[in-house]
Structure 1
Amino acid sequence: MASRGLKFVNIQEHSDARGNMRIVEVDGGLPFVPVRSFIISDVPTGKTRAGHAVSCDELLIVAQGSCLITARTAAGLEEHRLTPATGAVHLGPGTWLMLSEFEPGTILVTYASERYAETRFFEDYVEMDR
């Protein structure tokens, strides 16, 4: 499966005296129609998530805290610290993904283009070079 890569997507944010609101709309720049969403939270210190290639489009947004995303794409290995200020990151199918270094209290929201039953895990993908 060839990776279509990793790209950052701007998310609308509105702030006022009541707090902040971040908006994700299908017709507002979202690169695919989401059919599933899930939240990753309460990741213990030193633990990782993912560790596989994604088989569908995914959009990752850190709502609170931060984590390190390591992705292997056709362009090579990329690492980025995701925070609420970084916007969202779009992963294309075939992108190898590792999530690590979760700050305590991190909440990561993910939107996916396929239902869970339709996704596949490619755990036998070669190890990432560090």
Structure 2
Amino acid sequence: MTTNTDVQLIEIPKICDSRGNLSVIEGDTLPFVSKRVYYLYDVPSGSERGGHAHKEQQELLIAVSGSFDVVLKDGSFEKIITLNKPNIGLLIPTGIWRELENFSSGSVCLVLASDEFDEEDYIRDYRSFKLFKH
């Protein structure tokens, strides 16, 4: 079973230029082939996103603008990681509960997912998640 120790911060290659920086995700940057990309934006102050885990899907979360906190729960322990750099991604493996909160004004969360949307892959109730983990 996965735990919070399996969650990783991944440095995304950054090309610095006086005209602006460029970060690239390709090749073996990710341990999976991205089959879905989506992003969260215009999140109202005080709102939370996430509140689920995946049975099979892995995700990479990136704060491409602004910042937000990711609360990670593995069924036993909790940790909070703040994302605030567009060249740092948070790799969340299967079986980790996540909640996104404390979005700064104008923040954008980009998500690269290992699979297309499948409602059956979601665990949306924390009690069900705890049962899934044990």
Pairwise TM-score range, normalised by the shorter structure: 0.7 to 0.9
Q: Paired residues, what number?
A: 125
Off by >6 Å, runs of 4+ in structure 1: none
Question: Does the Cα contact within 8 Å between 2:11 and 2:88 map onto a contact in 1?
Answer: yes
Q: Deviations over 1:54-113 (max 9, x none)?
A: 231100111110000000126721101101167111001111000000000001110001
- What is residue 53 of structure 1 aligned with on the other side? 53
- TM-score by length of structure 1 reads 0.87
Paired position in structure 2 for 1:110: 111
Relative distance call for 1:74 and 1:32 in structure 2 (3 A) is farther
Q: Structure 2: which amino acid aligns with 1:44?
A: P
Secondary structure of 1:44's aligned partner = coil
Q: How many Å separate the matches in 2 of 1:8 and 1:19?
A: 23
Aligned to 1:3: 2
Contact preservation (8 Å) 2:52, 2:99:
yes
1:38 aligns to 2:38 (yes or no): yes
Distance in 2, Cα, partners of 1:82 & 1:54: 20
Aligned equivalents of 1:82 and 1:88: distance in 2? 8
- How far, CA to CA, are the matches of 1:86 and 1:19 in structure 2? 13
Length-normalised TM-score, structure 2: 0.84
Q: Residues 113-128 of structure 1 correspond to what in structure 2 (within 5 A)?
A: 113-117=114-118, 120-126=121-127
CA 1:75 to 1:23, structure 2 compared with 1: closer, same or farther past 3 Å? Answer: farther
The residue aligned with 2:71 is 70
2:85 counterpart residue number: 84
Aligned counterparts of 1:62 and 1:10: Cα–Cα separation in 2: 12
Would the aligned equivalents of 1:45 and 1:102 in 2 still touch at CA under 8 Å?
A: yes
**Structure 2 counterpart SS, 1:109:** strand
Contact 2:65–2:86, Cα closer than 8 Å, also in 1:
no
Instruction: Mark the CA change 1:67 to 1:42 in structure 2 (over 3 Å): closer, same or farther.
Output: same
Question: Is residue 3–residue 74 contact of structure 1 (8 Å, CA) maintained in 2?
Answer: no
| CA distance in 2 between partners of 1:6 and 1:95 (Å) | 8
